[in-house]
Structures are given as structure tokens and as C-alpha cells.
Amino acid sequence: METIVEELLQSQSFLGFADVAQSIAATSKRTEKAALLGSYFTQLSDNDLVIATRYFAGYIFPLRDQRSINIGGAAILTAITTASGREKSTLQEKLVKLGDPGDVAYDALNHNLEGHLPQPPLTLQNLAQKLEQLAVTKGSKQKISLLTNLLTQTSPLEAKYLVKLLAGDLRIGLKEGAVEDAIARLFKIPVAKIQWVNMLTGDIGETALLARYQQLDSARMQLFHPIKFMLASPVTDLTEVAKQMPGEFAVEDKYDGIRAQVHIEPYFQADDAILHGVVINNKRVALFSRTLDEITNSFPDLIEGLANLLAHQSDIDEENGLILDGEIVPIQNEQILPFQDLQKRLGRKQVSQELLDKVPVAFIAYDILYAQGRVLINEPFAERRKVLESLHLDATNVRCGIHQRFADISGLDAEFADARARGNEGLMVKDLHSTYKPGRRGREWLKIKRALATLDVVVTAAEVGTGKRSRFLSDYTFAVRKSETDPTLLNIGKAYSGLTDAEVTQLSNWFRTHTLQQLEHGRVCIVEPKIVLEVTFDRVQPSARHNSGYALRFPRILRIRDDKPVTEIDTLETLQRLVETVHQLPEAAIEAQTTGATSTLEAAQATFKTFVASISRSSQVVILHDCDADGVTAGVVLQLALQRAGYEKVSRIIPDRERNAWTNGNKQTVQASAPDYLFVLDLGCQSEPIIPGVPTCFIDHHRPEGVPLGDTLISAYAWELIPNTSLLVWQLCQLIAQVQDLDWIAAIGTISDLGEKAPFEELALAKTKYTAKYLKEATTLINAARRAADYNPEVAARVLLSHTSPRDIVNSNSELVEQLRVARTQVKAAMEEAKKAAPIFAGNVALVQINSPCQIHPLIAQSWRTRIPKYIVIVANWGYIQGRVNFSVRTDSGINVLDFLRNLGLSEGEGSYGHGHDFASGGSLPIERWQQLLVLLGFEQSAFS
């Protein structure tokens, strides 16, 4: 091994560094890597030892040094292209294949050796000077030019490791911890001492030099380099807290802001050009994010309050500094605001006074790592908390986090609710004896969020969006890491909803300048994997589409995680644990966690039976159901089933023309019926309750948008074969009453919603039993009541309740059925008139505008859907509700119209918008908001009426 090093090594040259790096990469054993590194270090001068040690740890500058190279992957690829003379498209293909820009540089320059002139050896110190020059150079073009020139002076092997260094990872199986281990082995010093000094100094190079001369004891804490943050492990079950902490433990609020570390020290003359932080009132203050990046300039409104934590200059000495760990949150007076407000301030190097006034922030400290010359990370948490509280952090924008002690878990449920009421995510539970472990995630800190499952992921590809976002890269494929030790990225899904227009614009611009390869003529861009997102989803399911073997069902972006490095995104193990956890939970718990994705009919029946069993026979039960044939038949089936099961007070309510259970008018109607229990059928599900405090069961097959806290959702939306609501209700009701004779009612709802060829055995049996002819005609009659101008779907319900079969309805001469026939005739005439309207086009959207008092826009949309299947068809009806435009959206294009509508970015306001099915949706909007929607769709002024 030593012979290899002697043969390869030219200790002054970067080529020697690259040779050793190549040898280390070829060695699998950590001990051999450390031995190679140690042999190399022994032959270096002091200056070269400092430089090489930093480079092997993946740093160009010490952590105290605020300089950075700040050159992206796209710029690096351009420099490689110019230096090698190769085609950029060829190198882009190589990058996708090899996955590492350093390997691409090696391959590219290896093909250009004939034109490569001999160059003087590039020494480590000469390279360090050139990298310093690159760091202070402004502008992408100038940086590319300097890097190109540098690459022409290097051999292919040097270029390989130079580019890897610029990308931030040598990828030779050697992280900072392994370098610490190599230093410890070489100088026969316990590795814990090397780690301690490296933490104090923030410079692995300086640590190596101190170790060489046995001067580690002389190291002192140097502020203004970020210390890695201690991390918490998530739990959802409080019994895990009890197992981990059987004695007394600390409980704190889990804040929904960005993690931040604060360094404060008296100001003494220093090299202000490279040192982090700003000086105010003779104090230097710096803030660092959990990505270890400086964010001081993003929060100028915190600086003075933090500086004031130190005593007056006359009372302090050089060692009187502070390092605090905490959270930056948006705040208004005492109220913590949603994280979305804070996002407006993230990623800005300079913040306007207007934004400072609009989004005030506070720093909430919950740990202290250094104070009064003492490094506190090895002190128990209880002791650190005492020191923190002694600072009296009680300013408006600098305060101490809420802290309590519990002897057991009995009070945590109530405390969790209180934390949420204070505007926070949940709880942190901490072992009172725990030391602070930089960069480690342990079981001594536990976090309890109890929200929908979320994952932190990194974007690997960006795709051009649709509609208003067709000019932006707005659809993002994302990945997790293979494991905590393997950084290989594995794709798990794609999301295109949840971000604001401003965020999409910001990300699109970033992705275009950090694109590694373009596919489909630029429609899809493989991008540098550096943007971290937090996503939520309905469930995890096996998938052969992604290299992870899994896919997230209906992922949605919660926020951009600027505060989180790629090294801290979730892993495949986390994903697998989510799958296992979901399978082990009771179905009711699965339902709550996955926004209503009840997994099977059997699980749905069990949930339904549990809810019904909680209702006393004398309770007032109200059924709120949709007005179409599916909703009306579902309501009638449930009403009859509950009455047959012995429930004495059952009534039904049909919403008004807007068909939205959450409008004030419909809420008031339900409230007036004084329900003890409420069923909501075929009207979707949102997180807002219909009537707060009234136990509610939602039964539905549309995409759920949330579940009110404490309520029950039974949804077929996630099933492989999705039944309509009336069929689902009929299947559920078989558990509580004899309802076989109501199969024809459920069949009418099925034909209305899914067509007469819907692939359900129950429908086939009903067609055989009652004949398809009578079922179809009865369906048109039942639907006519809500489509006619006078809108009276209660007539349809009364017809169903007073007849015994579809044949009975079709052959009936009753007054109620005659009303349905008149309504059907009116609807037919309106349809004939509306069919004369022709579509106009904008991009992939076809717009048809009609003016009818009848609810025929869904029928017209359905007819155009099959005629122009590649388009998203929108039929707008100006005459259905005065002062509003009601519209239906249908498509056979394969585009998910729910996501399409939400991605348009229509501002919040009055009206219903974008609910329903993946390929069938619509809404009801005031005219002004409808016109805003047309603009977002790309239509001209002429389309506004």
C-alpha cells in the first residue's frame, strides 16, 4: 500500500492529490482508505496538509470563511464542453449515464489528449489561489471563462477531482468523519478528540495541523462557523415516548419555521471580508440555516435584538459569546403565523422594508451550545436549559421557547392540542439527560406532528407545465436517498400543485440555469438535485415506474425546504417504514392518515358500521346529498336503510344550485334541521366541517381534499375500480338493514354517473332483473329534475320513494312523474339549442360558451369530450345562475383536470372551483373571477361574454 502511494505521489501537486483520491475510491475498506490518506498526509508540508485535508473532507474554504465558489452544474458542464471541444449534447448524455460531472470531465478530456499541451504541475497552493480567485469573480460568464482556463491546465484525472470538488463531493467513500478518523489513526489520537477540535475550530485543515504538532489542547471555540444541528426522530404513537423516556422528560412546542443557529460575540478587529456575520453596537451577529449556509442578511430585523443579548461592551471580554439553536417564525404580536407567510422572505439576500413590515419574524431559542467561554454540548439538556433561561430572552422578536416537564404521557394529548392552537406543528419531547449531538438523529429527541404523512425529497427533473404555466418548468419529479450512507437518488413521484406562481417562476428560472440535460425538445429537463421540497400524499404504493420500486399516490407540494440540505432528505427506508406502518394500522387510522383513501370495501363497511353504531335510535339524523341522480339515489337508499334499521328521525336535504355543501346558505339549511348526526353524500370532502361539533360521515368517490378533525370519511377514490356514491352506499347499507330490493335505485345512480356499461356486477344483475331500457329511461327522468330551469331535485327523490322499480316509474301517470317528463322535454330543447355553440381554442383548452337556465353544461361538455379528445373541454353556462358562470370541465386527453385547474393559480375568492374527479370537474364563479380564469387559460378579451 505504501509503495502505491510512493509511486503515485508528488506531494506538492494536485495530481498527487488526485492519484490518492483515485486509489481511495478503488478501496472498499474504511481502514485501508484511512491508511492511504494517512500515508499521503505524512508527506505534505504544513500548508499542503491544511489544503488537502479540507479538500478530502469536501470543503474548499474553512466553515468560518463566508466565501463560496458559487458555480452551478450547468456552468461547470459548459466549461468542460469548451475545454474539451466535445459536443455539449454528448456530454449531457454522458452525465445522465455516469451521474457525476467529475467522471464526465475525465471522459471528455481523455478524448482530447492529442491537443493537450504539456503544462507545469498544478500545485495544491496554486490551485487554492485559483479557487480563491474564482470565488471573488462575479458573473457566470467570467466564472466559466476562469474554470475553462483552469481545466485546460489539468490532466484528465486532475480535472475529474477538481470538478468533483467544485460540485461539493469527491464521491470516493470518504466523508468528513472518515477524514477525522484518518487524522486520529495517523497521529495516534482518540478520534473523539479530533472530532471535538474540528467542531471547535470549524476547520478540518487547522485540526489536522494541530494534531501534527500535538497542540489540540490549545484549540478554543471559534464562533461564526456553523455547527451541525442535532436532529429529532419522528413518532406518531405516544407509547413510543413512554418506551424511550420512562422517567421525567421535557416537552416543547414544535415550531413551523426554519431552523437557525445564532452566533454572537463582542466585536474585535478581524478580517471582515471573509468572516461571517454583521457588526452592530460593537457585537458581531450571524445566523446559519440547517444547510449550514449564512442567512444573516435575510433577517436584518433580528440582528439588534440578538446583539442585545450580550452585556454592555465594558462588561464583557473576548470569550463572552453565545451560540443558540432555535427557530425563526413569522409572528404578529404574540401570534405565530403560518409558515407560508415566512416563505415570502426566504431565499432573499436583501429584504425590502415593505416586506420586513409585512412579515415580521421572531427567533425562538430552545437550546444553547456555547456561553461565557463554556462549550455546552456535552452538558445534559436540563443544564443547558438553565443556562438558556438565565439569558432572559423576553424581547418581542427574540424569545425563549415554551418548555415544560412531564412525568408520563398522560397529558401529552392535551398539550399537543394546545400547541396546535398556538399555531405550532406539534410537540418536541426531549430526554433531560441528553447531550447535544451535532449532525446526528437520535431517539433522545422525538417529534410528534400527527399530520398527513410528509416526506422531504429532492427534485431530479422539471417539466413544462400546462395552461398558464406552459412557459414554466412547473412539474417536478422528485427522489429520496437510498439510505443514510448511500446518497444514490431514487425517484418516487411527480408533483405539480401546491406552489404559488412566484415560487414556480423562481424555481423555473433556477432549473433552467441548472439543467444537466434536455429531453423531449426541452420539455423535460434533468436538473441538478439541489432543490428540496416537502411533499404530502395520500399513500405509498409499489410501482415499477420508478427505480425506487414505490410511488406516492397524489403527491402535493407543501413547501420549498430552502432550510434543508439534500443530505437530510428522507430515505428509502423511511418510505418503506411508512408502507409497513400503514399496513399495520386499523383501517380507520389508515383512512385518517391518507385523506380518506379507504383501502377496500370491507374496510369501508367496517368504518360505516362503527359510525352508525354510535348513533342512538332517537337521534336526529340528517342526510345532505347531491342533486344529481347519483346523489339523490344515494340519499334515498341511505334514508330507507336507516329507517329500516330502526332510526326514528331521518331526514334528507338537497343543496341549492351551487351544489356546494360549504356555502353559507347550505350550511344554514343544515343547521336549521338541528342534526345530532350528519351524513354528507356525493359532495366531496374538505377539511372544514359543515356544522362544527356535529359528528359527520362523508361518503364519496371524488378526490378528497381533507377531513374535518374528528369526522369520518369513507372514500372509494383510491380504489382500483371506483364505484359511484349510490352503489357504494347500497353496499355499505347491507350491513345495517335489508336493502336488496333497493338495487334498482343504486343502478340508476350508477348509469347516471358511470354509464350503462360500467364494469360492476351489481349493475349487470340489475339490467338483467329490471331491463336496461327501463333503467336508462328512469335515469333520464330522475336527472331531469335538477337540470330543468326550475331546479327541483326533491321531486326526483319523492318519485324514487313512491315507486317500486324503474318500470313502475316509466309507466307511471302520477303527478310527480309528469313533472319529470315536462322537465326532460325542457332540457332536451335546451340541449338542441346549446349544441349550436362552437368551441374556441387557447392552447390545449377548448371553450364552449352557452346561455341557458338549464343545467346542461355537463352534458354539452361530455358530448364535445369525445369529439375533440385531445383537448380539455370547458363548457361555460352564463344563464344558469344570475351573476355567475357555471362551468363543466371534461377531457379524454389523459390530463388530470383537478391538477390542471389548480395549477392555473386562480386567486382565492367567492365561488366553487376545481372539485370532483380527475377527468371531470368544474365550478361556479362570479363573472369577474370567471374572467380572471379565462385570462389564466390564455383566452383573449373577446371570450369574456
> Rounded CA gap, 229 and 212, in Å?
28
In contact, 778 and 748? CB cutoff 8 Å = yes
Pick one of 3.10.310.10, 3.40.50.1000, 3.30.470.30, 3.40.50.300 as the CATH number of 255-412: 3.30.470.30
If you average pLDDT over residues 207-220, what whole number do you get?
94
173: phi > 0 → left, psi -120 to 50 → alpha, else beta; which? left
Identify the active-site residue in 33, 94, 193, 254. 254
pLDDT digits (tens, 9 = 90+) for 899-908: 788 777 777 6
If you average pLDDT over residues 579-596, what whole number do you get?
39
β-sheet with 231-235: strand ranges across: 231-235, 441-448, 426-431, 249-254, 403-406
- Split at pLDDT 50, 70, 90, the class of 852 is very high
Alpha helices in 734-884 (DSSP H): 743-754, 761-770, 772-787, 793-802, 806-810, 815-834, 857-867
Same fold, 255-412 and 454-582: no
pLDDT digits (tens, 9 = 90+) for 244-285: 898 999 999 999 889 999 999 998 766 666 788 999 988 999
> Rounded CA gap, 692 and 352, in Å?
41
pLDDT of 165 strictly over 90: yes
Q: For residue 906, what pLDDT is reported?
A: 78
pLDDT of 942 strictly over 70: no
| Burial degree of 815 (CB within 10 A; 0-12, 13-18, 19+) | exposed
Q: What are phi and psi of 888, to 5 degrees?
A: -120, 145
Cell of 820: 319529470
DSSP at 148: H
CATH entry 2.40.50.140 includes domain 454-582: yes
Question: How do 920-926 and 912-913 pair as beta strands?
Answer: antiparallel
In sequence order, what are the beta bridge partners of 258? 328
pLDDT of 311 strictly over 70: no
> What pTM does this model have?
0.55
In contact, 275 and 64? CB cutoff 8 Å = yes
Q: For residue 199, what pLDDT is reported?
A: 92
pLDDT of 596 strictly over 90: no
pLDDT digits (tens, 9 = 90+) for 639-652: 999 999 999 899 99
In sequence order, what are the beta bridge partners of 330? 361
Terminal alpha carbon distance of the chain: 82
pLDDT of 230 strictly over 80: yes
Cell of 131: 479557487
The identity of residue 642, as a single letter, is L
> Rounded CA gap, 877 and 479, in Å?
43
Provide the b/e sequence for 293-321 (b: ≥16 CB within 10 Å). ebbbebbebbbebbbbbbeeeeebeeebb
In contact, 827 and 858? CB cutoff 8 Å = no
- Other Cβ atoms less than 10 A from the Cβ of 688: the count is 12
- Split at pLDDT 50, 70, 90, the class of 539 is low
| Distances from the Cα of 489 to the Cα of 25, 48, 76, 542, 911, angstroms | 20, 34, 21, 17, 42
| Burial degree of 452 (CB within 10 A; 0-12, 13-18, 19+) | middle
Q: For residue 96, what pLDDT is reported?
A: 63
Domain-wise residue ranges, the chain: 2-212, 255-412, 454-582, 588-829, 835-944
Q: Is 773 a catalytic residue?
A: no
Please state, rounded to an integer, the average pLDDT across all residues of the chain.
Answer: 86
- Other Cβ atoms less than 10 A from the Cβ of 454: the count is 18
Q: For residue 595, what pLDDT is reported?
A: 35
- Split at pLDDT 50, 70, 90, the class of 592 is very low
pLDDT of 809 strictly over 80: yes
If you average pLDDT over residues 625-646, what whole number do you get?
95
If you average pLDDT over residues 469-485, what whole number do you get?
86
595: phi > 0 → left, psi -120 to 50 → alpha, else beta; which? left
Q: For residue 124, what pLDDT is reported?
A: 94
> Rounded CA gap, 119 and 714, in Å?
72
> Rounded CA gap, 808 and 816, in Å?
13
- Architecture in CATH of 835-944: Roll (3.10)
- Split at pLDDT 50, 70, 90, the class of 394 is confident
| Distances from the Cα of 697 to the Cα of 386, 615, 670, angstroms | 49, 11, 14
Fold observed for domain 588-829 = inorganic pyrophosphatase (n-terminal core) (3.90.1640)
Fold observed for domain 2-212 = DNA ligase i, domain 1 (1.10.3260)
If you average pLDDT over residues 365-370, what whole number do you get?
97
Alpha helices in 218-333 (DSSP H): 238-244, 300-307
Percentage, residues of the chain above pLDDT 90: 49
> Rounded CA gap, 808 and 811, in Å?
5
> Rounded CA gap, 190 and 465, in Å?
55
- Split at pLDDT 50, 70, 90, the class of 599 is low
